[in-house]
């Protein structure tokens, strides 16, 4: 499992930019930047939609005022679902990236198998990444939402 001090592995994420499918690589998203990355088990799911994403939307300006260049949300959903979820939540300040088959979650050891609920998903977490290196890491126990929220991240910056 990835931990504080580790570098994020090279990976190509799908995302929608100006209505078009694009591919953004880890080095493009995280190198030479201070980034808050948070991951959710699934777009449009209850806790993710009611609390996790909305918290980062509400606190985006305050988080960025602490020297954060980007806030990125990752989920094991396709890029079109992530784009629709962004629009449904007025999340223009959040970069939405897709880990479509959970490969990135597996690479960093933060995947979980939800069986017939949705298959491979990401665990819920937040991290501060500075120039591609993890400097803060808040991992939730399955079924919990206590430490990966926007307020906890803001207070730790």
Active-site positions read 48
Q: Buried b vs exposed e over 17-38: b needs ≥16 C-beta within 10 Å? A: eeeeeeebebeebbeeebbbbb
The encoded tokens of residue 100 equal: 């479509």
Picking from 21, 152, 154, the residue whose alpha carbon sits closest to that of residue 96 is 21
The encoded tokens of residue 40 equal: 């959710």
């Amino acid at each position: 499992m990835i931990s504080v001090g580790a570098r994020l592995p090279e990976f190509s994420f799908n995302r929608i930019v100006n209505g078009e499918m694009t591919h953004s690589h880890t080095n493009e998203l995280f190198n030479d930047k201070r980034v808050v990355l948070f991951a959710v088990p699934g777009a449009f799911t209850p806790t993710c939609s009611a609390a996790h994403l909305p918290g980062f939307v509400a606190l985006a300006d305050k988080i960025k005022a602490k020297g954060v260049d980007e806030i990125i949300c990752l989920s094991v959903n396709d890029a079109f679902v992530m784009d629709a979820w962004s629009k449904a939540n007025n999340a223009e300040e959040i970069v939405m990236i897709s880990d479509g088959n959970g490969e990135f979650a597996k690479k960093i050891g933060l995947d979980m198998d939800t069986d017939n609920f949705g298959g491979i998903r990401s665990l819920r977490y937040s991290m501060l990444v500075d120039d591609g290196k993890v400097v803060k890491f808040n991992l939730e126990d399955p079924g919990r939402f206590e430490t990966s929220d926007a307020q906890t991240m803001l207070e730790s910056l």
